[in-house]
C-alpha cells in the first residue's frame, strides 16, 4: 500500500513534467515565430511647420516634431508627434498622401492625448503596398488640424532617407561659333532659346505630347522660343530662361549657358526642350530611352556626365521650313511671333525625316552632375 506521501511525490513529479513540457513547447513556439528584422524598419524625424501647410495657415509660433518608424516589409507604422504653440488645442492629426505641393486623403488617423499635444499611431497602423510606394516616393505627410486652421495648422513631409531625393545640376551650354551654321549668305552662330524641363517617371517624354499635331506649348517653343505655356499644358514642367550671370530672361549665344537644379529619386527621368533659334520650328530635346534621360542607373546610383549625345534636333511640324539661318520668318528675322506659313505635320526628329543641317560643329553641350542626397 502506498502512503499519502508517495502519492504526493508522484503527483508533484507529474506536475513538474507537465510544466516542463509546457515550457519546452512554449519555447518551441517562440522559436517558430518569424523574427522582426530591424533592417526593414526605417526611422524618420520630421519637423512640422506652418510654412508647409496647404492652403497656407496662420499660426505664429506653432511647431511640431514627429518621430516614427516605418517597416518597409510589413507596412507597420509606430511613433508619435509632439506639437506646441498652436492657436488652440489640436482637433485632429493624420498621415495623408500627397507630395510637397499637393494635398491628399487621410492614410492613418493618429490618436491624441487629453490636451492634443501628443499624437500617436494606433497599434494596428499599417501601410498597404501602394502606400509603401508613396512612402518611398516621399509622398506622405503629417498634418495637424485646429479649429482656427481646419485644413491644417502644421505639416511635415515624410521623407524615406533610403530613397531621399538627390540634387542634380543641369547645364545647357551654347558651344556654337560664328562659323557653326553654314548658309547661302555666310556662316552664323546658333542661339538657343529659353526652354522647359520635366522630372517624371513615364517611359515617354511628356513635353513632346501630343505629337499629331503638336500642342500649343511645343508649337510656341519651337517657332518662337517661348516656353511660357508649358507649366499650364504639361503639369510639373518648369521653365528655364535666365542665362548664367544675367538678371533677365533671354536666349543664349556662343559661350553662354543656362543652369538649373533639380531634385530626383530613383526611377525619375529628365526631359528637356530648347529652340534651335535659326529655324522655323526646330528644337533640341532629350532622346534617350523613351526620349528622356534616366537620372539613376540600374543599381539606383545617380548619374553624372556629358549627355550631349542624348540631345537631338526635332521639329514641331507646325511651320514650313525655310533655309536654316536665313529664313525671313525665323525668330531672329521675323516681324512678329507666330509668323510664317503654317504646316500640318507631326512632331518628329529631323534624322527620321531625312532633314540635314549644314553644321560645322556642335551647338550645345548638355551636362548633368549629381550633387548630394537631400
Domain boundaries, the chain: 38-161, 166-373
Residue among 284, 293, 229, 298 nearest 262 (CA): 293
Residue among 88, 93, 42 nearest 61 (CA): 88
In the chain (374 residues long), the average pLDDT of successive 10-residue segments reads 38 37 41 57 96 94 98 97 98 96 96 98 98 94 98 96 86 98 96 98 93 97 98 96 98 98 92 98 92 91 95 97 96 93 96 95 98 65
Cα–Cα distance measured from residue 73 to residue 240, given in angstroms and rounded to the nearest whole number: 40
Cβ atoms 289, 318 nearer than 8 A: no
Cβ atoms 259, 170 nearer than 8 A: yes
The pLDDT assigned to 124 comes to 97
**Domain 38-161 identical in fold to domain 166-373:** yes
At 70, which helix (H) or strand (E)?
A: strand 63-71
The answer, as to whether pTM is greater than 0.75, is no
The pLDDT assigned to 311 comes to 97
The yes or no reply on domain 38-161 and CATH 2.40.128 is no
Cα–Cα distance measured from residue 96 to residue 32, given in angstroms and rounded to the nearest whole number: 36
HEC sequence for 87-154: CCCCCEEEEEECCCCCCCCEEEECEECCCCCEEECCCCCECCHHHHHHHHCCCEEEEEECCCCCCCCE
Helices (H), 162-307: 216-224, 230-233
The pLDDT assigned to 37 comes to 57
Distances (CA, A) of 32 to 26, 265, 343: 10, 38, 72
The pLDDT assigned to 34 comes to 44
The pLDDT assigned to 139 comes to 94
C-alpha cell at position 45:
524625424
Distances (CA, A) of 305 to 95, 170, 195, 259, 361: 39, 10, 21, 15, 20
Cα–Cα distance measured from residue 231 to residue 241, given in angstroms and rounded to the nearest whole number: 13
User: 166-373 adopts what CATH topology?
Assistant: Immunoglobulin-like (2.60.40)
Amino acid at each position: 500500500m502506498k502512503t499519502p506521501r508517495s502519492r504526493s511525490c508522484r503527483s508533484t513529479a507529474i506536475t513538474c513534467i507537465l510544466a516542463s513540457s509546457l515550457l519546452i513547447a512554449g519555447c518551441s513556439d517562440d522559436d517558430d515565430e518569424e523574427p522582426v528584422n530591424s533592417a526593414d524598419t526605417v526611422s524618420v524625424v520630421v519637423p512640422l511647420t506652418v510654412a508647409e501647410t496647404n492652403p497656407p495657415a496662420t499660426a505664429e509660433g506653432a511647431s511640431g516634431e514627429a518621430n516614427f518608424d516605418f517597416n518597409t516589409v510589413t507596412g507597420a507604422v509606430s511613433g508619435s508627434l509632439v506639437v506646441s504653440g498652436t492657436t488652440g488645442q489640436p482637433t485632429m492629426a493624420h498621415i495623408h498622401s500627397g507630395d510637397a505641393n499637393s494635398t491628399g486623403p487621410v492614410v492613418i488617423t493618429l490618436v491624441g492625448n487629453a490636451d492634443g499635444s501628443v499624437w500617436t499611431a494606433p497599434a494596428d497602423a499599417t501601410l498597404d503596398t501602394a502606400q509603401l510606394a508613396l512612402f518611398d516616393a516621399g509622398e506622405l505627410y503629417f498634418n495637424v488640424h485646429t479649429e482656427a486652421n481646419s485644413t491644417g495648422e502644421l505639416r511635415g513631409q515624410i521623407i524615406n532617407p533610403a530613397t531621399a531625393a538627390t540634387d542634380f545640376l543641369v547645364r545647357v551650354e551654347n558651344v556654337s561659333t560664328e562659323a557653326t551654321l553654314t548658309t547661302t549668305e555666310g556662316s552664323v552662330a546658333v542661339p538657343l532659346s529659353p526652354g522647359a524641363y520635366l522630372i517624371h517617371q513615364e517611359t515617354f517624354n511628356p513635353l513632346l505630347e501630343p505629337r499629331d499635331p503638336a500642342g500649343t506649348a511645343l508649337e510656341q517653343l519651337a517657332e518662337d522660343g517661348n516656353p511660357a505655356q508649358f507649366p499650364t499644358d504639361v503639369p510639373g514642367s518648369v521653365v528655364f530662361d535666365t542665362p548664367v550671370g544675367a538678371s533677365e530672361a533671354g536666349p543664349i549665344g556662343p559661350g553662354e549657358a543656362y543652369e538649373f537644379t533639380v531634385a530626383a529619386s530613383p526611377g525619375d527621368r529628365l526631359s528637356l526642350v530648347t529652340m534651335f533659334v535659326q529655324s522655323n520650328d526646330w528644337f533640341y530635346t532629350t532622346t534617350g530611352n523613351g526620349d528622356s534621360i534616366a537620372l539613376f542607373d540600374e543599381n539606383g546610383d545617380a548619374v553624372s556626365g556629358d549627355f550631349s549625345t542624348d540631345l537631338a534636333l526635332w521639329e514641331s511640324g507646325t511651320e514650313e521650313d525655310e533655309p536654316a539661318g536665313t529664313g525671313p520668318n525665323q525668330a531672329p528675322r521675323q516681324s512678329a511671333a507666330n509668323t510664317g506659313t503654317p504646316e500640318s505635320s507631326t512632331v518628329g526628329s529631323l534624322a527620321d525625316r531625312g532633314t540635314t543641317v549644314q553644321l560645322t560643329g556642335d551647338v550645345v553641350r548638355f551636362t548633368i552632375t549629381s550633387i548630394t542626397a537631400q
